[in-house]
Amino acid sequence: MPEIDRRDFLKIAGLTAGAAAVACKEPVHNIFPYVHQPEEVTPGIATYYNSMCRECPSGCGIRVKTREGRPIKIDGNPDHPLSQGRLCVRGEVGHMRTYDSARFAGPMKRGADKALVSTTWDEAQSLFVEQLKKAAGKAVFLGGLETGTLDALLEQVLPAIGAKHRLRFEPYAYESLRTANQLVFGTEAIPQFKLGSADVLVAFGTDFVETWLSPLSNQLGFSQARSEGRGYAVFVGPRLGLSAANADQWLAPNPGTEVLVALALASEVAKRKPGVPESLKALLAKYTPSSVAEKTGISAIAFERIGARIANADAPLALPPGVEVQGTNAARFTAAVQILNVVSGAIGRTVVFGPDHNLGKLARFQELSELAGKMRGGEVGLLMVHGSNPAYSAPQVGLADALRTGNVFTVSFASAPDETAELADLILPDHTAFESWGDAEPVRGVRTLQQPTVRPLFDTRATADVLLDAARALGATVPAGSFRDQLVAAWGGRPSFDAALGKGGEWKDVAPANVSVASGVGAIDFEPSPLAGNASDPVLVVYPSHHLYDGRLTRVNVLHEIPDPVTKTMWGSYAELHPETAAVLDIDLGDVITISTDGGQVTVPAFPHNAIRPGVIALQAGRGGLPKDPNAPMEPHSYWRRNVVGVNAFSLIPGKLDAQSGALAWLSTHASVANTKGRAPVIRAQLTFDQEGRNFGAAMTVEEMEKHGPALPGGAGEAEAEHPEHEKPEHRAQPLPKQGDAEHLETKQYDPAADAHPDSPYRWGMSIDQDACTGCNACMAACITENNIAVVGPENIRIGREMHWLRVERYVEVADEHEVDVRHTPLACQHCGAAPCESVCPALATYHSKEGLNVMIENRCIGTRFCSNNCPYKARRFNHWSYDWYVPEPENWSLNPDVMVRAKGVMEKCTFCVQRINGARDVARKEKRTIRDGEVVTACQQACPSNAIVFGNLRDPEAAVTKLRVDRRAYRVLEHLYTRPATSYLMNVRRVEEA
Amino acid sequence: MAAITEPIPTHPDQINDDILRVLEPPTPIYVLMVLFFATLVGLGLVAFLYQTYWGLGVTGLTHPVMWGVYITTFVFWVGIAHAGTLISAILFLFRAKWRNAVNRGAEAMTVFAVLIAAMFPLIHIGRVYKFYFMIPYPNQRGVWPNFKSPLVWDLFAINTYMLVSIMFFYVGLIPDLAAARDRVRDWRRYLYRALCLGWRGSSEQWRHWSRTVLHLSGLSTPLVLSVHSVVSWDFATSMVPGWHTTIFAPYFVAGAIFSGIGMVITVLVPVRKAFHLEGYLRKEHFDNMGKLILLTSSVVGYSYGMEYFMAWYSANPYEQMSFWWRGFGYHWTSTWIMISCNVVSPLPLWFKWCRTNPLWLWVTSIFINIGMWFERYVIIMTGLSHEYDPAAWGYYVPSVTELTILAASFGLFLTMFTIFLRLAPVVALQEVKELWYEDRAHAHGGGHH
């Protein structure tokens, strides 16, 4: 044996100790106090600002929670008429775009080797002015939708700097709706569609929950109209999307013939309803159900039934087509839907003109095409791009090619890299929505203010100020002062501006306007949309992304990781097709296929599923944006940040237009599909949509519900007599059989309020209304931002390591012409009274708190993971890695300081937002009282646009949650396991068509 | 006694010569073997450090399958550890003479297996550097482990078993260490001198020694049944479909003995060949072990059948679905490997020719080892991957890290066993001699049994 001398020994000992120390390292985070504490900021106390969401054009009011000067949580502004205190999945994570680590740190220009290099604002500004001079009036400003002071200012400033031409471009621009209203009512206005008062709703491919018009207020209205089993909805379209899944009937006519469905329904209604103008009657007589049945593939009896339903309804509503069914007949199709609204009497009742949506100024797609043509023709010298990304979302027009020719000097005002900015010659980054001032009037009468909630993170400048400076440098006369001064002036000076700022804006009722049917309606020639390509190929359906909208949110990792509400896939694009179609084409799940049309070709993995009509192939638009971060570190399991996620489905749409409205025809072609025989992982949260009869999502029919009478105690499915007295709320005070006694074990009756310490005034519980739940994922986004839930990336998700504390399970029972029964079960920790996880933890890291919460002490956890195994709800999540190590600055600025960031090797789960409970307790203790009902609002509850989630104290007999627990629809998931869950669910209501 | 075909020792001194031959200087092949096994251990160590540094993300463990190869391997080695105590304690108390030749190897195997098994819960946990949270120790926070948790019971059961089996093994070794001390002349003399605790072979010492062995046997006997019962309760007390059954304790104990005997055969057949111990590890020993295999294999096979029967008979949809997936789901191969190795492969042992053929037995024992590892894998993996919530179903594929550590556990076992072979007699000298004298007495007295 070799001699070990002292030095060797020390070396070896040091190495061993070093290795051990490295292995046991846990991330250290320091907290430093302010040296100079800013005004308005108290460390540990949140400050809230009312502002406006800019993640889509609907302009919902938001309330931004900031801690120590950083926005960390976005909620709806409760005073705002559009959001009413709720927010959608996109709005919930809007601030993540501000914290994007790949944002432009300052202005950039093309260097000598055509690469983008950093520059100073002075230099950039003078370059901009120089180029404006050079363009000599041939400048064009291509922006997104602006409806407030910025819009007015641009109208003034742009001509002054020689940009006579201005386009407000949005990919979802409602051109056909405007033209159809012109055809039918003689006005281009986009009216209010009042889903809240509609008792029968017919949607023609309208994704009203996802992106259409004003999705949040749509959803608020939709859930309101359907409370307690009321309401009825029919969806007409090729896909059982999220909106369709919430309907009660799904008609999937042959793609392109949806217009005939609208007409046949209108004809049925006209037959039954008095007061239909003769001209319309004559027109509709041509479209009897039997005459269109064959063309559409929908049975005549379905038209008759739905027609009768609409005719008998008090307030029916037909929603104009969404983009997924927008063909070359888009305007006429929309006109047909509006005719249905006319004959059913919806106009003035559920379709209200007057408080119109301010989308009327949006450019038609055709105008963008023309602009690209002009650019190629050398008629444009300088292009300014602000708030839109046409190189990505309108590849048909060839804008990118036009820019690459080099004839056009392109200035991008994007704050983060996108496809258009990549082609720009000069980048003058704007602040993000959370750093800038602004206002908008998305709906007439609803003026909303937007205020900065964080100091600009990077060296960016407000675009309005850049343009004002440029105009001044060019010697033009423009209003003095900054954009903010204009804004204050537009709101009537300081006092009224400040008042509006406090409230979040200003809203007043706008009187409804009367419209009458135009004379030429009877002469409209309705034709199904023709489809190009080989008729034996599947029809290409491209639909907007619920999470990424038109792709503008592609940099928000959280949204990639929240499962798609329909397919439950994450991170990427998947070609959706019916299993029957897949069998015909010889495609299996996960096969890599190429889809080609006249527009282009993409290669994606296939995802066959049942929620789509046979004979079509669907792709989601909005995915496949820029590479996430080409400079991301190559640490294990973070290299996903480098990858392009998905494919751009816009590129498949051939550039055909609807001649009348100038809209892009999304549904216009068959697509040839070839199986490359390659395989790719289908990253999905749920392997099956069949719940095997396990009642995770339970349902009852309207008749069953009505049999019970209102709010009958004892839960669902059983008659009153079968229920013991003590289950009734008025008998709650009476003792139950002692737990463990024979009687107790036999009846399994238990009092959920008993599962807390006898001295505690609280036993927290939750109620979730599955019928109200649309499955929109807003709760998940809220939970993620509130509780610092890690993004783990596709490599981890692929093997099932998502960290979401709350998931929305989707189960499809029936989805056909007769009934749609899709059940959405938001499932988080149930905070069981007899929690299986608690008894198996050796370290006592999870236990039952005095207030009945199932508490998880992450710092005590050693990671045996037995709790997760033993949880029948599978609500627990394990930190396989130190996920916070992989979050670059400043993305981690969005973390909520009230919730710890978990280390590797520990378990975590839903806490019922215990930090909010404790916050409310502090307030209550100061006031020497107990916490009131409704004082603690969990993040998921706060976000829910359907008001499906109620949280409260089960020991308070008057609390809403206590009453809902004994609602006639109430049940508990897996209750027979006797876990005594604190979360109860209200059953789905099946609005079954009469036989 | 059964017919003896191998050459039997003619004199007790020859026993010493034959068996203590192992203490002669090692051959190059032996050294290479040890190096190879030690390399596996080294790889495992690297894998473990890698895992500790990055986290359990380097394993294939995922939601909902939070237990995988590590717990499988833990249960496997605990099971292996059962044969030693069964042979040394229970068969000792039952005066089954044939055990005398195999008990030393089995005991050594037990100790090594239980040492390895005890490492796996630590390898498995998310924060190994906080493992002491499981141990009840006085602390200023006043926090104790959760005594309701089967994992804490497990901690106690495994540690008790480890201590008792080490003690048993060591006490049994004392007289042989003295024999070795008297034989070797190199540095090892000092080692043996220290370890044999001044053994002189006086009748007083023999008397004390045999009483100690008897008492330790009494102490160990309940452990054979209890330890693996407690391990089985890690699963049976949970509410996972496929785990939550009352059959688990006897099922696991039978499985443990089954796998333990399998491993005894796996290691002793090559040893017998390499050290020419045919006269000591005789065919009737293998015959008897073959019978034990048949017994335990039948119990295990019955348990498999009973699990499926209960799944059907209970009319419990979760249980039924779980077993359907077990037989025909993603990991159906594992299930069928388990059944064919554990139930089908021992069937030829009903024929005596197969039982007394060491090669046949050895091949069967390899199948048993594979089958019993897969049994635990199947129970853990298929149980967890299809639980109550269909939306949370998933599956599990072991990662390279996990498989490296699995291989390292075999490497460690074999390293320890091969080194042991050269350090101490693999056949208990005194027990064989006792048998030799007894046989002679019977032969002289015309006795017959």
Contacting residues of B for A800, CB less than 8 Å apart: 62-64, 394
pLDDT at B208 over 90: yes
- Cβ proximity of A387 and A413 under 8 Å: yes
Minimal Cα distance from A692: which residue of B? B390
Express each pLDDT in A536-557 by its tens digit.
Answer: 999 999 999 999 999 899 888 8
Residues B433-447 have a mean pLDDT of 64
Express each pLDDT in A768-824 by its tens digit.
Answer: 999 999 999 999 999 999 999 988 888 888 888 999 999 999 999 988 888 889 999
- Cβ proximity of B368 and B262 under 8 Å: yes
pLDDT at B1: 37
- Cβ proximity of A488 and A482 under 8 Å: no
* B256/B236 Cα distance (integer angstroms): 16
Tokens for A840, please give them.
Answer: 């198996």
pLDDT at A887: 73
Q: Give the distance from residue A843's alpha carbon to the nearest chain B alpha carbon, in angstroms.
A: 5
Mutant choice from A869, A881, A884 vs B, greatest count of B C-beta within 10 A: A869
- Cβ proximity of A687 and A977 under 8 Å: no
The number of CA neighbours under 13 Å toward the Cβ of A758 is: 1
Question: E strands of A197-257, at which residues?
Answer: 200-204, 232-236, 249-251
* A978/A739 Cα distance (integer angstroms): 11
pLDDT at A207 over 90: yes
Q: Which of A688, A868, A905 sits opposite B56 (nearest CB)?
A: A905
Residues A226-237 as b/e (b if ≥16 CB within 10 A, e otherwise) read bebbebbbbbbb
Express each pLDDT in A624-668 by its tens digit.
Answer: 887 666 565 555 555 556 666 789 999 999 989 999 999 999 999
pLDDT at A330: 93
DSSP string covering A733-788: TSPPPPTTSHHHHHH----GGGSS-TT-S--EEEEEETTT-----HHHHHHHHHTT
pLDDT at A633: 54
- Helical (H) or strand (E) element with B153: helix B150-183
Q: Which of A688, A841, A863 sits opposite B127 (nearest CB)?
A: A863
Minimal Cα distance from B124: which residue of A? A864
- Helical (H) or strand (E) element with A13: helix A6-23
Express each pLDDT in A53-85 by its tens digit.
Answer: 999 888 999 999 999 889 999 999 999 999 999
pLDDT at B447 over 50: no
Tokens for B160, please give them.
Answer: 């008790």
pLDDT at B4: 44
* A863/A843 Cα distance (integer angstroms): 9
DSSP state of A868: H
Q: Which of B57, B151, B318 sits opposite A637 (nearest CB)?
A: B57
* A965 vs A713, more confident: A965
CB atoms within 10 A of CB A603: 16
What mean pLDDT is reported for chain B? 87
Report the range of poorest mean pLDDT among A26-40, A329-343, A674-688, B50-64: A26-40
pLDDT at A730: 42
- Cβ proximity of A796 and A685 under 8 Å: no
pLDDT at A17 over 60: no
Residue B432, amino acid: V
Of chain A, the percentage scoring pLDDT greater than 70 comes to: 90
pLDDT at A766: 95
What are the two backbone dihedrals, phi and then psi, of residue A193, each rounded to the nearest 5 degrees?
-105, 110
Confidence of residue A718 (pLDDT cuts 50, 70, 90): very low
Between CA B419 and CA B425, with CA B421 as vertex, the angle to 5 degrees is 140
Residues A207-219 have a mean pLDDT of 93
pLDDT at B211: 92
Tokens 């299986």, residue?
Answer: A836
Q: Which of B52, B146, B388 sits opposite A872 (nearest CB)?
A: B388
Contacting residues of B for A690, CB less than 8 Å apart: 390
Contacting residues of B for A22, CB less than 8 Å apart: 53
- Helical (H) or strand (E) element with B208: helix B203-236
Among the listed residues A644, A600, A532, the one whose alpha carbon sits nearest the alpha carbon of residue A396:
A600
DSSP state of A941: H
pLDDT at B204 over 80: yes
Cα distances from A603 to residues A646, A759, B242, in angstroms, run: 9, 62, 42
pLDDT at A562: 94
Q: Is the dihedral of CA B139, B141, B146, B151 positive or negative?
A: negative
Biggest CA pair distance of chain A: 111
Interface ipTM: 0.92
Residues A212-232 have a mean pLDDT of 92
* B86/B227 Cα distance (integer angstroms): 12
* A872/A649 Cα distance (integer angstroms): 39
Q: Is the CB of A881 less than 8 angstroms away from the CB of B55?
A: yes
pLDDT at A28 over 90: no
Tokens 């059954």, residue?
Answer: B245
Q: What does the CA dihedral A441, A446, A451, A456 come to, rounded to 10 degrees?
A: -40
Helix (H, G, I), strand (E, B) or coil at A317: strand
DSSP state of B8: P
Question: E strands of A86-217, at which residues?
Answer: 108-110, 116-118, 139-143, 165-168, 190-193, 200-204
pLDDT at A395 over 60: yes
SS3 assignment for chain B = CCCCCCCCCCCHHHHHHHHHHHHCCCCHHHHHHHHHHHHHHHHHHHHHHHHHHHCHHHCCCCCCCCCCHHHHHHHHHHHHHHHHHHHHHHHHHCCCCCHHHHHHHHHHHHHHHHHHHHHHHHHHCCCHHHHHHHCCCCCCCCCCCCCCCHHHHHHHHHHHHHHHHHHHHHHHHHHHHHHHHHHCCCCHHHHHHHHCCCCCCCHHHHHHHHHHHHHHHHHHHHHHHHHHHHHHHHHHCCCCCCCCCCCHHHHHHHHHHHHHHHHHHHHHHHHHHHCCCCCCCCHHHHHHHHHHHHHHHHHHHHHHHHHHHHHHHCCCHHHHHHHHHHHHCCCHHHHHHHHHHHHHCCHHHHCHHHHCCHHHHHHHHHHHHHHHHHHHHHHHHHHHHCCCCHHHCCCCCCCHHHHHHHHHHHHHHHHHHHHHHHHCCCCCHHHHHHHHHHHHHHHHCCCCC
Q: Is the CB of B391 less than 8 angstroms away from the CB of A693?
A: no
* B285/B292 Cα distance (integer angstroms): 11
pLDDT at A12: 65
* A666/A326 Cα distance (integer angstroms): 5
Tokens for A994, please give them.
Answer: 């009469």
Which residues make Cβ contacts (< 8 Å) with residue A97, sequence separation at least 6? Answer: A55, A415, A416, A432, A433, A434, A553, A555, A556
Express each pLDDT in B282-314 by its tens digit.
Answer: 888 888 889 999 999 999 999 999 999 999 998
DSSP state of A900: P
Confidence of residue B218 (pLDDT cuts 50, 70, 90): confident
Express each pLDDT in A812-865 by its tens digit.
Answer: 998 888 888 999 999 999 999 989 999 999 999 999 999 999 999 999 999 999
Residues B375-398 have a mean pLDDT of 92
Q: Please give the interface size between A and B, counted as residue pairs whose CB atoms are below 8 Å apart.
A: 183
DSSP state of A247: S
* A559/B259 Cα distance (integer angstroms): 50
What mean pLDDT is reported for chain A? 88
Q: Is the CB of B317 less than 8 angstroms away from the CB of A840?
A: no
Express each pLDDT in A410-449 by its tens digit.
Answer: 999 999 998 999 899 999 999 999 999 999 998 999 999 9
* A660/A183 Cα distance (integer angstroms): 10
Confidence of residue A350 (pLDDT cuts 50, 70, 90): very high
Express each pLDDT in A296-309 by its tens digit.
Answer: 999 999 999 999 99
* A644 vs A992, more confident: A992
Confidence of residue A717 (pLDDT cuts 50, 70, 90): very low
Confidence of residue A976 (pLDDT cuts 50, 70, 90): confident
Confidence of residue A909 (pLDDT cuts 50, 70, 90): very high
Q: Is the dihedral of CA A284, A285, A289, A293 positive or negative?
A: negative
Among the listed residues A252, A234, A254, A231, the one whose alpha carbon sits nearest the alpha carbon of residue A243:
A234
- Helical (H) or strand (E) element with A542: strand A539-544
pLDDT at A734 over 60: no
Confidence of residue A227 (pLDDT cuts 50, 70, 90): confident
pLDDT at A464 over 90: yes
pLDDT at B98 over 80: no
Contacting residues of A for B393, CB less than 8 Å apart: 687-688
Tokens for A263, please give them.
Answer: 């007409």
* A623/A644 Cα distance (integer angstroms): 9
Strand pairing category for A116-118 and A139-143? unpaired
Which residues make Cβ contacts (< 8 Å) with residue B149, sequence separation at least 6? Answer: A839, A840, A841, A842, A866
Tokens 């399991």, residue?
Answer: A637
pTM (2 d.p.)? 0.90
Sheet of strand A672-679, all strands in order from the earlier edge strand to the far edge: A539-544, A616-621, A575-577, A601-608, A591-596, A672-679
Minimal Cα distance from B58: which residue of A? A880
Among the listed residues A198, A81, A214, the one whose alpha carbon sits nearest the alpha carbon of residue A206:
A214
Contacting residues of A for B321, CB less than 8 Å apart: 692
Among the listed residues A903, A18, A21, the one whose alpha carbon sits nearest the alpha carbon of residue B126:
A903
Among the listed residues A808, A856, A836, A828, the one whose alpha carbon sits nearest the alpha carbon of residue A951:
A828
| Partners of A826 in beta bridges | A808
> B180 — contact with chain A (CB < 8 Å)?
no
Q: Is the CB of B390 less than 8 angstroms away from the CB of A841?
A: no
CB atoms within 10 A of CB A26: 13
